[in-house]
């Protein structure tokens, strides 16, 4: 389970596209991620990271993509996305944001306000991981970062793009519902929407904003919010990867 929230169905914004199933064959023999703990001493916080596509060749510094799981999800739960990004030439850091002992996220009131401290903590962790992997020579210093987040992790990712647009090449959320998508042309803003849950008012752009700002907002019929991870069907994964590719190709 990747989110405690269940709301009414959402009208799809763009019809789902098809993508080649050959991607899944390429991922069958991918190596397991390297699990590492980074320590942010200024916050006294350990940040577990699942690292995909890292290389011992220090001359091959790949651009970085950062995955932020949904609330109560694990950083190894999005391997189909991570492995596909590795195939595209990225090194991928999937961050474990929720740790034992953390307070639960707010479930009452104006959630875009009540959850802001949780999202800000996630933004701080993302920034720390970016800096650490660049310092260690794992990620390319000169390349801007791609962000992908599911649900609450998507809210964190959109807040990061709002606060650090110069560091961000593209940001894609898997059904974030609370943090408004930045209305900007750079970085590129993309979101894949489920069929069973609805974003809060003001989170998603209108049709004119989508067109004017080169956004990609796409609904997937029969895709449930809590299935937007490795537990999705092969067909659902195929469609999600197709939209991720379209997002990155347009950035």
Task: Please compute the mean of the pLDDT values over residues 224-229 and round it to a whole number.
Answer: 96
- Report residue 251's pLDDT band, with 50, 70 and 90 as the boundaries: confident
pLDDT of residue 59: 65
pLDDT of residue 188: 98
Domain boundaries, the chain: 22-249
Distance CA 36, CA 237 (A): 26
Could you tell me what percent of the chain has a pLDDT over 70?
Answer: 87
Three-class DSSP labels, the chain: CCCCCCCCCCCCCCCCCCCCCHHHHHHCCCCCCEEEEEEECCCCEEEEEEEECCCCCCCCCECEEEEECCCCCCCCCCHHHHHHHHHCCCEEEEECCCCCCCCCCCCCCCHHHHCHHHHHHHHHHHHHHHHHHHHCCCECCCCCEEEEEECHHHHHHHHHHHHCHHHEEEEEEECCCCCCCCCCCCCEEEEEECCCCCCCCCCCCCHHHHHHCCCEEEECCCCCHHHCCCCCCHHHHHHHHHHHHHHHHCC
Cβ neighbours of residue 52 under 8 Å, at least 6 residues apart?
30, 33, 34, 79, 82, 83, 85, 86, 91, 92, 93, 94
Is a pLDDT exceeding 80 seen at residue 245? yes
Is a pLDDT exceeding 90 seen at residue 2? no
pLDDT tens digits, 141-179: 999 999 999 999 999 999 999 999 999 999 999 999 999
Could you tell me what percent of the chain has a pLDDT over 90?
Answer: 83
Is a pLDDT exceeding 50 seen at residue 12? no
Question: Mean of the per-residue pLDDT values for the chain?
Answer: 89
Q: Looking at domain 22-249, which of 3.40.50.300, 3.40.640.10, 3.40.30.10, 3.40.50.1820 is its CATH number?
A: 3.40.50.1820
pLDDT of residue 200: 96
pLDDT of residue 3: 43
pLDDT tens digits, 123-144: 999 999 999 999 999 999 999 9
pLDDT of residue 74: 97
Question: Half-sphere exposure of residue 186, counting CA atoms within 13 Å on the CB side?
Answer: 4
Task: Please compute the mean of the pLDDT values over residues 21-27 and round it to a whole number.
Answer: 45
Is a pLDDT exceeding 70 seen at residue 28? no
Higher-confidence residue: 144 or 59? 144
Helix crossing, 234-249 with 79-87: angle to 10°?
A: 40
């Amino acid at each position: 389970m990747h989110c405690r929230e269940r709301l009414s169905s959402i009208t799809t914004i763009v019809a789902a596209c098809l993508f080649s199933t050959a991607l899944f064959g390429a991922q069958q023999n991918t190596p397991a991620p390297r699990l590492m703990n980074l320590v942010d001493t200024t916050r006294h916080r350990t940040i577990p990271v699942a690292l995909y596509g890292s290389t011992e060749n220090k001359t091959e510094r790949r651009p970085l993509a950062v995955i932020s799981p949904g609330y109560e999800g694990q950083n190894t739960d999005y391997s189909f996305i991570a492995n596909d990004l590795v195939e595209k030439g990225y090194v991928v850091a999937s961050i474990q944001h929720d740790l034992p002992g953390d307070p639960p996220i707010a479930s009452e009131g104006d959630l875009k306000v009540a959850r802001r401290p949780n999202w800000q903590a996630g933004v701080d962790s993302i920034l720390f991981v970016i800096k650490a992997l660049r310092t260690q020579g794992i990620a390319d210093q000169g390349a801007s970062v791609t962000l992908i987040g599911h649900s609450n992790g998507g809210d964190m990712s959109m807040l990061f793009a709002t606060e650090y647009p110069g560091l961000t090449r593209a940001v894609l959320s898997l059904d974030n519902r609370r943090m408004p998508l930045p209305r900007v042309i750079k970085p590129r803003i993309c979101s894949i929407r489920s069929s069973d849950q609805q974003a809060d008012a003001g989170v998603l752009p209108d049709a004119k904003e989508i067109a004017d700002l080169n956004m990609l907002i796409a609904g997937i019929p029969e895709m449930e919010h809590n299935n937007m991870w490795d537990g999705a069907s092969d067909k659902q994964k195929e469609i999600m990867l197709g939209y991720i590719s379209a997002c990155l190709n347009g950035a």
